[in-house]
Amino acid sequence: MDARRVEPEEDANRVAAEQVRALLYRLPDRDDAPLFVFDAGYDPVRLQHSMEGCCAQILVRLNSGRVFYFDPEPLPKRPVGRPCRHGEKFDLKDSETWPEPSHEHHCLTDAYGSVRVRAWSGLHPKTRKAKERYGSEGACVVKGTVVLVEVGRLPQGKRRREPKALWLWWNGAGAPDLDLLWRSYCRRFSVEHGIRFLKQALGWTAPRVRYPEQVDRWTWLVLAAYSQLRLARGLVADRRLPWERPLPTEKLTPYRVLRSFVTLLPLVGTPAAAPKPRGRSPGRPRGSRSGRAKRYPVVKKVA
């Protein structure tokens, strides 16, 4: 739907919020709020604050070392002193601090076995460190729902590892649909395979370009080629390898479509005209110098 390069002086959370707002403007009107899923590289406090006012749900993966707090219990008004801002502690690593969940969901699946999802609503993190990191934007109290996903086993091919607890942060209107939330985040794992396909099969990171504008143009060309592979699933034959299982047309992977995509090129043609000979290039004038290439700051990712 969109691709944007995060510049060194920009914040990834703010850029993501701008992309969400632009996408919501293009989407048709709908009754339910769309759900946007983010990896652990995004900060839920900054992201939720940047998306304030959007008719959308967000689901962000949390680090297992985070600590949240409930609202303080109402106390009699005291003549002096600031009222308490934080109530009971909710430590993700300490199960003794977990009260009874606000919502709970159980189901049995073929891939993950027994799945248990619990949610605690009305939690918020401390804002002192957020204020130091983000300035006045971190001063507000951001409330949301902490979701814990526990599965009995991992899917086939990954069962040599023990499943770990998955912590998520959800924010949206109404009560959370826990069955939708945990399944939606599992679908996010396929994004990693898509990025690997763009790099290995379509050569996303192969060119060594000099200017950022060239990077943006090449990224959009790669995404356009990927979209053509998705659209051509019903026009090509499945050239599977001997050890691969046959797949229906609507489930062909882009990699399988790429094997047969060359057969479509003679049928589709090209809008470009045939190249015309222009003779020998005069080359660079004698004595001219191109100068040093412009240097750009290195992007450093800090946890």
Chain-centroid distance, C-alpha 283: 47
Residue 242 has pLDDT above 50, yes or no: yes
- Locate 81 and state its tokens: 């002193």
Lowest mean pLDDT among 78-92, 200-214, 223-237, 253-267: 78-92
**Confidence label for 135 from pLDDT (cuts 50, 70 and 90):** low
How far is it, in rounded angstroms, from Cα 214 to Cα 61? 32
| CB distance 208 to 92 below 8 Å | no
Mean pLDDT of the chain: 86
Other Cβ atoms less than 10 A from the Cβ of 225: the count is 17
pLDDT digits over 152-169, tens only?
Answer: 988 876 767 888 899 999
Q: What is the pLDDT of residues 166-199, one digit of tens each?
A: 999 999 888 899 999 999 999 888 888 889 999 9
The beta-carbon contacts of 283-290 under 8 Å, at least 24 apart in sequence, are none
Calculate mean pLDDT across residues 276-286.
83
Who wins on pLDDT, 79 or 150? 150
